[in-house]
Amino acid sequence: MSRSSYVETTDGTQIYFKDWGPKDAQPIVFSHGWPLNGDAFEDQMLFLAQKGYRVIAHDRRGHGRSSQPGFGNDMDHYADDLAAVVKELDLKNAIHVGHSTGGGEVARYIGRHGTERVAKAVLIGAVTPIMVKTEWNPNGVPMEVFDGIRAGVQKNRAQLFKDFPAAFYGFNRPEIEDSEGLADTFWLQGMQGSILAQYECIKAFSETDLREDLKKMTIPTLVIHGDDDQIVPLDTTGKVAAGLLPKGELVIIAGAPHGLCATHKDEINELLLGFIIS
């Protein structure tokens, strides 16, 4: 059975979601990265749907097919929007999977709404616990990098989204085969979103302190990260996050870039399935 629809949040934002599989099957909920939408997890959704699971993915506010309000482009609202989807669909015993910004969304969702409806979580190339360089995070990414992304969005985001896949998917590495189709898909998903939401989301994914949220993730949590992630560095995110999680497990994929859900989809799919059934 296939379902797709919208959930209206308390502030009137319409959040698009797709929902595949039997309603009585264990739900797997996906939270995507910047500047994409729920389609970024199509390989994982197809694989797990074929295994009999219920798979759900929403488009973050201001992204994809969700509405584009001029407010609320921050991690708290993202988490509350996810909670609205979970409540509307009455999801229980769910496994939440977040990539990049979506990993931060999953952490903040659990930090704000608890684990009552959550069985497990997976953070893939996630921005947790924080990306930007601070006094307490001296090995973080300098603010100038994020200022550069903001400048690129404001100057010509269409061109930025043409250029970004090289590092995002590792096409600038000789061992990863370039894919024009995958790059085009990145551009298409990016251009569906609101320029305002995408601009403001940069602050959300780079500056949000998620340390306390990670500590509240008392359910089993799998951290997956590529050791050639040029967007969200492993040493300052994945490795640190795993150490803050009460029940965290870190899996490092050799040679994998940030967009590993596409470039290494078979390995990701098997890791997800193994974690789900464990």
CA 263, CA 162: separation in Å to the nearest integer?
A: 17
To 5 degrees, how large is the angle CA 78–CA 140–CA 219? 50
Q: Quote the tokens at residue 6.
A: 């919208």
Catalytic residue among 77, 225, 258, 264: 258
d(C-alpha 112, C-alpha 118), whole Å: 13
Paired with 94 in beta bridges are 118
Q: Which two tokens stand for residue 148?
A: 């550069």
User: What residues have CB less than 8 Å from 119, skipping those under 6 apart?
Assistant: 26, 93, 94, 95, 219
Catalytic residue selected from 100, 194, 225, 264: 100
Rounded to whole angstroms, the Cα distance separating 197 from 165 reads 20
Verify whether residue 100 is a known catalytic residue.
Answer: yes
Query: Do 271 and 249 contact (CB within 8 A), yes or no?
Result: no
User: Annotated catalytic, 229?
Assistant: yes
Task: Tell me whether residue 5 is one of the annotated catalytic residues.
Answer: no
Catalytic site residue from 66, 96, 229, 264: 229
Q: Residues with catalytic annotation?
A: 100, 229, 258
